[in-house]
Amino acid sequence: MAHLLPLLTALLLCSYGPVGSLGCQLPENSVQLSKMTWQLLGQMRTISPALCLRDRRDFRFPREVLNASHFQNTQDMSVLHEILQQIYNLFHTQQASAAWNKTVLAQLRTTLRKQLPDLNTCSVVQGRARQDSVLTTESPTLALKRYFHGIHVYLEEKKHSDCAWELVRMQLQRALASTIQLQESLRSKDADSGSS
């Protein structure tokens, strides 16, 4: 019964009117910034993953949260926000500073921060719009939190070894690539629907 209240609240808030009028959009340059983040993550590579086979782990990225057919347009971006925020958190730790090239790490944080404030406003607004997923499965944000929690636990377990960081870095690069695909596909949906 405890989960009924948020559901009702969500339904009430959903009756607020058209989501578009709340003005929640991806920042114009979000694809570009995401690509930059992706490149920086690539630059950070220092060891060959082939040396890290023993540390491999399936982190179970919740792929379905990035399935473009669950989105109507670029309005619903709490998923992207969660991913970027979590990547930022991971690389904003002492352990990350110890493990990675500080110059590139600083650039990575700067690029991520440029994207986060805009999306932050967005995810607040979008809390009102999340009607479908509340009704069907668990919240995509929650699935992502679980995924990143797994990564934190893994890094602890592996004592933040170079191999562990490298495998995580690769994972995150792949996840980010999926968000770029999603963003691009939503942009073309926007264009198709002729919305302003």
Q: Quick one: which of 103, 136, 193, 196 contacts ligand NAG (CB under 6 A)? A: 103
Nearer to ligand NAG, 32 or 185 (CB): 185
Euclidean distance between CA atoms 180 and 174, whole angstroms: 10
Q: What is the nearest approach in angstroms of ligand NAG to the Cβ of residue 60?
A: 14
Q: Any contact of residue 69 with ligand NAG (CB under 6 A)? A: yes
Q: Among 31-39, 64-72, 172-180, 187-195, which window interacts with ligand NAG (CB under 6 A)?
A: 64-72
Q: Any contact of residue 104 with ligand NAG (CB under 6 A)? A: yes
Whether residue 104 contacts residue 40, with contact meaning beta carbons closer than 8 Å, is answered with yes
Q: Any contact of residue 101 with ligand NAG (CB under 6 A)? A: yes
Euclidean distance between CA atoms 115 and 110, whole angstroms: 9
* Alpha-carbon distances of 169 from 82, 140, 163, rounded to whole Å: 17, 22, 10
Euclidean distance between CA atoms 45 and 94, whole angstroms: 18
Contact residues toward ligand NAG (CB under 6 A) are 43, 64, 67, 69, 101, 103-104
